[in-house]
Structure 1
Amino acid sequence: MNPLWACILLPQLALDGVMRQRIEPTEPLVLLGGPPQRRVLQAVNPAARALGLKPGQLLSAAQALTRGFASADYDLAAIERWQQFLAAWAYGFSAQVSLHYPRCLLLEVGSSLGLFGPWPHFEARLRRELGELGFQQRITLAPNPVAARVLANVHDGLAIGDAAELRAALEPLPVDRIGLPRETASALARMGLRSLQQLLALPRDGLARRFPAELLRHLDSLLGERALALEFYRPPDRFDARIELNFEVESHQALLFPLRRLTADLAAYLAGRDSGVQRFTLHLEHRNRPASQLVVGLLSAERDPAMLLELTRGRLEQLQLPAPVLALRLEARELPAFAPQHRQLFDERPQQSLPWEQLRERLRARLGDEAVQGLGVRADHRPEQSWQAESDRRTPPLPSVGPRPAWLLGEPQPLAEAGLLILAGPERIESGWWDGGDLRRDYYLVQTRSGQRAWAFRPVGGRGPLQLHGWFA
């Protein structure tokens, strides 16, 4: 199969990264850059643009127009972090993800169409998930990564699958939109060259004499005649994200919005690397005192965003905040492989019921880690000593012994023998001489007159009625 490359251009990555952390995304917002004495508007959201603000405007001029907007720094380091986060998300769709171009993701998707369906369905899923994550996008498809990136400059949604169609789409492009350095594009414009078609019509040897060798290499890569060397992204082995709040927060309820965003980002990151999380730490940062830490431990690896939010929320509500919170940071280092639960084709559970795994973790989050216990076996033949409470579901296999009841009585009780039918036995159990709990019993599998099956015993050499010790389901 011929390779197909998708380019996801993120035109407002810095602005989207800030807006997705704000409770009111419709509030006018600008990003500021430049020295303190000359602050300049680098990006504005639609609400700020409606007030007459625009990129490149001085902050002083913007404040002369209106004061009704919020501001944040144009942070290049934050842009890099968001691009890395989105690369981890894209890794779930392709093993070949590249950050070769700034504010852009390149994905080889030709080999993924068999898994995610034809390109229109695949593209719709990419757009839907990016929208849920809070990022605007432009997406194009082409036979090579350079062409996909160049086409994203002037198109959104264009999909080209072969070389002949690619050339027809590229030739009308202006020379200043085909990815050339600004100096080279200006020199070509002064020569009267306006489109790529005119540029391609010139002799190659003439272009080689007048311009650096990078021009011809770029044109060859653009047309798919020369492969572009790409370094492919590999997701890190840990997740670490932080949200700084706009004001000091003193209530748990006000922390839910940033917490929902952090757990959703963690789930997207885990889905990209096909792993789950079994333990993570939520740091609540305060002013002039150490951060509070909330450790969330799970019995099995999970990655469902709603479940991660619910479990963290349940534990957070039990935490007494020692001081107002200025920022939240979520860190996850234990990222084991994720094995989805096997489900039946037709779910017969009532509509409002929960799977056991989700119910167990919700109870642990609400009641505490030690409040929910499982049952495990112990290497002891005495029925009263053969089980133990365990917090982890992973228990050793049951030993090969005779039938055992699911319901064991706390104290044996005399069993009326009228109409009693003995189905199996006796099975003699002699044990416990070493710890003072010596017992010698003969156990029988019996059936009562009403059809119930029970487990009963009589002391070895003893007389009298059978002692009921358990019921079978």
Structure 2
Amino acid sequence: MLWLCITLPQLPLEALQCEQSERPTVVTILEGSVRSVVCCNPAAERVGLKQEMNFTTALAILPEVIAMERRLSAEQAALERLATWAYQFSGTVILGEVFADVQRARTTALWLEIGASLRLFGGFRKLIEQLEAELGKLSYSYQLGIAPTLEGAALLARTGVRVAITTVAALRARIENVSVHWLNLDPWIPQQLQTVGVRTVGLLVALPRDGVAKRFGPEACNYLDRLIGAAPDPRPTYRLPPQYHARFEFEAEIHSTEALLFPLRRMLREFVGFLRARDTGVQKFTLRFIHRDAVATVINVGLSMPDRSSERFLTLARERLEHTVLPSGSVALELSADEFAMPTGLNVDMLSGATEQSEELGYTIDRIVARLGENQVHGVMAVAEHRPEDSWATAAPETRRQHLDFPDRPLWLLPEPKPLQLSGMPALTGAERIESGWWDGGDVRRDYFIARTQQGAALWIFKDLRDGSWHLHGFWS
């Protein structure tokens, strides 16, 4: 197996905000009576703030620093959304642990088995390029590591080694001189190793296992063996849910529509990753804006045909949001979908030009519906009824039409048939007899014809077989 590890060193911060702030910002946590800095954004690092710093010291350096409380639940939710997104690149995804202690808070990771995906994506380079292109759109800070063992890939990711290690022998050689501080061990273990002169992974691996186990516990030995491929490392894999549901909790109430678009954009891109993983699309998804003191605002975003474009989803959601009055600020956003269908554009179609035109027309209709509202835009569909005035009905634009085999009929019908006086009998074509409705009180017995005026206009007329009268019912274009 070949494992790709994605470490997320800024997850404590990026799980709370989706856009990079220009103002110095830190995430803190209270451990006992001491509040410590978990991670900092680049603006905070530039003024000297750093991880594990006492927050009192951070305030002394920069009194106006923005501080946010760490939320493990937000990090776990973000990690699970990323795992769902990552499924588009691998059928085997493993979630790492969200560590509560400050020292390992920046080591959260997930793994993808990519050996089985290389042929599908056209080779190693193309797979990594596509993964990084999509991951970059989610606005997460990340580091990648590739190795034949889970812990080996994680170690390479943490140290920033941008080399694909494909064999255990190459892995052992590569990590031999890595500092023991990078190992995923309890923080006190590397500190004690330093005191006895064991400063590199190579020196630690060379020590007798019995001595290591006696001094540092059997788990440390087990970790080292899993790191270098000397012991198996079975772990539960993440499974795609049958329906999609994601939630993003805001650090503070958001009142601005524009501000809501930042988390919405990330969530929609993660959602599209789920759709790609399932090789499907969606024709409807639901947004729920959660308020502290009011009922949630629900926005259903419908499409005229299945799709999986995050940009189209965002455009339609923005249109709906701009015409929705939120009762108060939002404290969380939820996105859900439970019905899926293959996007039309993904089907093989020899008439690709017609398919593209259909997609663009559908997208235009979707934007009109999003702007005006579902009750203001209607489509027209045929129904199984022979009487022309009853053979159509309004429907939602995205309603799937059934194919009905009717004779040619004009699209332009009069609201009511208009009595017609014929002076002489014009040339008539396209004869069609309609006898229907005797069972519901709407009995009709008519012979329909196409008649042309002297000016060349085509009229749709009929003779009422009950009394012989003639009527005009529609016009041909």
Identity of aligned residues (%): 33
Do 1:91 and 1:272's aligned partners in 2 also have CA atoms closer than 8 Å? yes
TM-score (ref. length: structure 2)? 0.82
* Alignment equivalent of 1:278, drawn from 279, 284, 300: 284
Q: Distance in 2 between matches of 1:189 and 1:248?
A: 48
Do 2:428 and 2:449's aligned partners in 1 also have CA atoms closer than 8 Å? no
Q: Distance in 2 between matches of 1:68 and 1:104?
A: 32
Deviation at 1:134, TM superposition (A): 1.3
The verdict on how the C-alpha distance between 1:192 and 1:301 changes in structure 2, with shifts beyond 3 A counting, is: same
1:1-150 matched pairs, under 5 angstroms: 3-20=1-18, 22=19, 25-34=21-30, 38-102=34-98, 103-150=108-155
| Residue identity in the other structure for 1:433 | W
**1:158 is the counterpart of 2:163:** yes
The verdict on how the C-alpha distance between 1:387 and 1:366 changes in structure 2, with shifts beyond 3 A counting, is: same
Q: Distance in 1 between matches of 2:192 and 2:254?
A: 54
Deviation at 1:42, TM superposition (A): 2.2
Q: Distance in 1 between matches of 2:92 and 2:120?
A: 15
TM-score (ref. length: structure 1)? 0.82
1:44-443 matched pairs, under 5 angstroms: 44-102=40-98, 103-182=108-187, 185=190, 189=194, 192-201=197-206, 212-236=217-241, 237-244=243-250, 246=252, 249=255, 252-253=257-258, 255-274=260-279, 276=282, 278-286=284-292, 289-298=293-302, 301-322=306-327, 324-332=328-336, 334-342=337-345, 348=353, 355-391=360-396, 392-398=398-404, 400-412=405-417, 420=427, 422=429, 424-425=430-431, 427-443=432-448
Larger displacement relative to structure 2 (356-365 or 217-226): 217-226
More helix by share: 2
Do 2:464 and 2:470's aligned partners in 1 also have CA atoms closer than 8 Å? no
The verdict on how the C-alpha distance between 1:202 and 1:451 changes in structure 2, with shifts beyond 3 A counting, is: farther
Larger displacement relative to structure 2 (88-97 or 301-310): 301-310
Q: Distance in 2 between matches of 1:314 and 1:456?
A: 45
Q: Distance in 1 between matches of 2:145 and 2:366?
A: 42
Do 1:11 and 1:136's aligned partners in 2 also have CA atoms closer than 8 Å? yes
Once superposed, what is the RMSD of the aligned Cα atoms? 3.7
| Residue identity in the other structure for 1:312 | A
Q: Where in structure 2 are there 5+ consecutive unaligned residues?
A: 99-107
Q: What secondary structure, in the 3-state scheme, does the structure 2 residue paired with 1:295 have?
A: strand
Do 1:26 and 1:47's aligned partners in 2 also have CA atoms closer than 8 Å? yes
Equivalent residues, number: 460
Do 2:213 and 2:219's aligned partners in 1 also have CA atoms closer than 8 Å? no
Do 2:74 and 2:249's aligned partners in 1 also have CA atoms closer than 8 Å? no
Q: Where in structure 1 are there 5+ consecutive unaligned residues?
A: none
Q: Distance in 2 between matches of 1:253 and 1:175?
A: 46
The verdict on how the C-alpha distance between 1:342 and 1:454 changes in structure 2, with shifts beyond 3 A counting, is: farther
Do 2:248 and 2:334's aligned partners in 1 also have CA atoms closer than 8 Å? yes
Do 1:294 and 1:316's aligned partners in 2 also have CA atoms closer than 8 Å? no
Q: What secondary structure, in the 3-state scheme, does the structure 2 residue paired with 1:139 have?
A: strand
